[in-house]
């Protein structure tokens, strides 16, 4: 018999966070989070997302053993501003037991019905900067710090319980050597001359900070038309600024501005922390922090985290400026592999942007929905 209990205490929450450590113990592909960081992200006193969202966390038990977890989430910006009567759920992990996965999903359904919502979708996080999608292909590739990894049986559980595909995401990678300068060097010069644009590079995080709010504003403008987009609020900007910018090599952040220094494009690349996080095994101390700092400095794999282009400059070749700058940086750093974060299958424009680099789709992930 499965018993589902709501997380009520800090001890319960730690059990919630640590459950995947046992579920994926020994996996060469699962990338663990930093436990304290994950705990803080679920703390309404520390994460400003809770000003516009709420979450209820559940643990499933069988014979006094934890066998599953789920977070039931309502993003009120989505429900009230966009009119999407959606019940979100994420951080959904479970043993290969249909009774367990059903019991957890039923809790999400109950909350959705209590709030007169119309359907549930997951796995998703609180916003567009959170992890998204259940992995359905690419189980033999190491995960990243910004994606979920899961066992292959997850997909069959969703479909057995009557969920259907809502959105599909592709993950692609390519060799840095595939970025032939001939593809963008000439265009880089022409585009800058035609539109009066210039690149901005950074050496220190302090140089980036005055621009971060503008970057998030541009992020909101760039992605506003994509399905499921939820804007980043001013309070969240401050939170992400403090939490993440210092973790990114300043050389891996590129801006493009116009003649009046208005931001028209940006790109953020992160060094891959996957292997460092595996070595840290959830803890920064005593040695985890050193593995992460080493990866920040020495990783030869990078992740293209975000690219944003102002709507009035889209399809005008502005990416040639960004690619040209990254080419020089990657060559200097000895970068070998470029990995892209999950991109909506329907986002044809983003695929066109990368087509000349011979990308390989190495993973697919999906969100599922079910009417309430």
For the chain, domain boundaries = 2-169, 174-366
d(CA 219, CA 289): 30
Written out in words, the top-level CATH class of the domain with range 2-169 is alpha beta
Options 3.30.70.3340, 3.40.630.30, 3.90.1150.10, 3.30.450.40; CATH for 174-366 is 3.40.630.30
Whether this prediction's pTM lies above 0.85 is answered by yes
Tell me which residues of the chain have a pLDDT lower than 50.
none
Report pLDDT digits (tens) over 195-245.
999 999 999 988 999 999 999 999 999 887 766 677 888 888 888 887 778
Report pLDDT digits (tens) over 10-58.
999 999 999 999 999 999 999 999 999 999 999 999 999 999 999 999 9
Counting every residue written for the chain, the total comes to 372
d(CA 220, CA 181): 30
pLDDT value for 352: 85
Q: Note whether 267 and 306 are within 8 A (CB).
A: yes
Is 2-169's fold the same as 174-366's? yes
> Exposed (0-12), middle (13-18) or buried (19+): which is 17, by Cβ within 10 Å?
buried
């Amino acid at each position: 018999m499965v018993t589902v209990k709501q997380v009520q205490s800090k001890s319960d929450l730690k059990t919630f966070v640590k459950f995947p450590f046992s579920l994926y113990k020994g996996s060469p592909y699962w990338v663990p989070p930093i436990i304290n960081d994950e705990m803080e992200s679920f703390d309404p006193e520390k994460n400003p997302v809770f000003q516009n969202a709420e979450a209820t966390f559940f643990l499933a038990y069988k014979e006094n053993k934890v066998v599953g977890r789920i977070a039931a989430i309502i993003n009120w910006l989505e429900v009230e501003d966009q009119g999407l009567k959606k019940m979100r759920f994420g951080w959904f992990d479970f043993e290969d037991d249909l009774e367990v996965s059903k019991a957890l999903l039923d809790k999400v359904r109950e909350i959705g019905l209590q709030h007169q919502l119309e359907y549930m979708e997951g796995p998703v996080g609180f916003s567009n900067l959170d992890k998204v999608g259940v992995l359905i292909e690419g189980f033999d590739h190491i995960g990243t710090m910004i994606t979920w990894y899961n066992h292959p049986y997850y997909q069959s559980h969703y479909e057995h319980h009557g969920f259907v595909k809502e959105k599909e995401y592709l993950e692609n990678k390519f060799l840095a050597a595939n970025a032939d300068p001939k593809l963008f060097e000439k265009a880089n010069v022409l585009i800058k001359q035609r539109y009066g644009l210039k690149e901005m590079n950074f050496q220190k995080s302090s140089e980036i900070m005055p621009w971060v709010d503008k970057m998030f504003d541009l992020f909101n403008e760039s992605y506003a038309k994509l399905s499921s987009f939820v804007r980043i609020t001013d309070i969240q900007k401050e939170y992400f600024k403090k939490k993440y910018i210092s973790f990114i090599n300043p050389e891996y952040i590129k801006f493009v501005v116009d003649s009046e220094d208005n931001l028209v494009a940006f790109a953020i690349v992160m060094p891959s922390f996957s292997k460092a996080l595996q070595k840290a095994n959830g803890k920064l101390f005593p040695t985890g922090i050193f593995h992460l700092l080493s990866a920040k400095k020495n990783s030869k794999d990078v992740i293209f985290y975000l690219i944003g282009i102002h709507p009035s400059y889209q399809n005008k070749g502005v990416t040639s400026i960004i690619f040209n700058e990254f080419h020089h940086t990657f060559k200097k750093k000895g970068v070998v592999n470029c990995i892209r974060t999950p991109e909506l299958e329907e986002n044809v424009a983003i695929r066109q942007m990368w087509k000349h680099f011979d990308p390989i789709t190495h993973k697919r992930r999906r969100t599922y929905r079910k009417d309430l």
